Amino acid sequence: MEAREILEQVKAGKISIEDAEKFFKKQPFEELGYAKLDSHREIRSGFPEVIFCSGKPDEYLVSIYKKMYEANGEAFGTRAGVHQFELVKEVIPQISYDEVSHILKIEKENKERTGKIAVCTAGTADIPVAEEAAQTAEFFGSAVERIYDVGVSGIHRLFHRLDTIQEANCVVAVAGMEGALASVIGGLVSNPVIAVPTSIGYGASMNGLSALLTMINSCANGIAVVNIDNGYGAGYMATQINRLAVKGQK
């Protein structure tokens, strides 16, 4: 449960001051031996801890999901496989899995999503990384507009959605090959652009290194670059920017 939610329940008389005090007296992490669950991360940063699923032993993953769900009423994991989904589903039947983004999540119903983030891809092959970004931002409370397959080989497709892109508080530009999409968008919008290079492309793209170097060396201003295929990092940063924009509009 979030600190604010605890305080609101105390104010409404739903829980006692003593029970609230127990929550705040807890150590800032839960020791599991193989993991230390950062229960106070949302209090410090505004974002709850997220589970990176890839490579985690089955028993550890299931236990971590169960603990986080019991503590927060929701849990979000990235880079999960079908096998991991089936394991967690045995313990949390309502868990959902997206085979495109490899996101394994359970979230609270009727979650409010505010502001606007535009998530754009150069091609259809970039969508898995873009979906990781989009679903991360949505889980953290941002409204997301998806604009896919608008790469520079048919730039008129991008111009067709330019009004929507320019209205967004932040734009996530996901591209492989030479990674030119971020530079084009950066020259057309007034708000920040987060560039995400993907490992999509032929041999000389070097598994995303070519796109990464293009994005880092962009002559367009207002572009930040995350690591290759790091949709989660882009969605997180985009939400930080979106939250600031929404706060400024109030």
Whether residues 91 and 130 share a domain: the answer is no
Q: Which of 246, 235, 249, 244 is nearest to 118 (CA)?
A: 235
Whether residues 245 and 152 share a domain: the answer is yes
Identify the domain boundary among 106, 127, 156. Answer: 106
pLDDT greater at residue 27 or residue 246: 246
- The stretch 78-99 carries a mean pLDDT of 95
Domain hosting 234: range is: 114-249
Whether residues 150 and 211 share a domain: the answer is yes
2-11, 52-61, 91-100, 143-152: range with lowest mean pLDDT: 2-11
Whether residues 89 and 199 share a domain: the answer is no
Whether residues 172 and 231 share a domain: the answer is yes
Whether residues 134 and 213 share a domain: the answer is yes
Residue type, 161: R
| Residue 126 confidence (pLDDT) | 97
Phi and psi dihedrals of 131, rounded to 5? -65, -35
Whether residues 220 and 97 share a domain: the answer is no
User: Which pTM value belongs to this model?
Assistant: 0.85
The CATH number of the domain holding residue 212 is: 3.40.50.1970
Q: Structurally, how many domains does the chain consist of?
A: 2
| Mean of the per-residue pLDDT values of the chain | 90
Tokens matching residue 92 = 């949390």
Whether residues 87 and 120 share a domain: the answer is no
d(CA 38, CA 45): 11
pLDDT digits over 138-178, tens only?
999 999 999 999 999 899 999 999 999 999 999 999 999 99
Given a cut of 60, whether residue 4 has pLDDT beyond it is yes
pLDDT greater at residue 20 or residue 111: 111
Q: pLDDT grade, residue 6 (50/70/90)?
A: confident
pLDDT digits over 30-54, tens only?
667 677 666 667 667 777 788 999 9
How many Å from the N-terminal Cα to the C-terminal Cα in the chain?
A: 26
Whether residues 124 and 75 share a domain: the answer is no
| Residue 236 confidence (pLDDT) | 95
d(CA 221, CA 215): 11
Q: pLDDT grade, residue 26 (50/70/90)?
A: low
Identify the domain boundary among 106, 132, 166. Answer: 106
Phi and psi dihedrals of 194, rounded to 5? -105, 115
Whether residues 102 and 118 share a domain: the answer is no
CA 217 to chain centre: 25
Q: pLDDT grade, residue 137 (50/70/90)?
A: very high
Q: pLDDT grade, residue 2 (50/70/90)?
A: low
Whether residues 168 and 240 share a domain: the answer is yes
Identify the domain boundary among 64, 83, 106. Answer: 106
Q: pLDDT grade, residue 241 (50/70/90)?
A: very high
Whether residues 200 and 91 share a domain: the answer is no
Q: What percent of the chain has pLDDT over 70?
A: 92
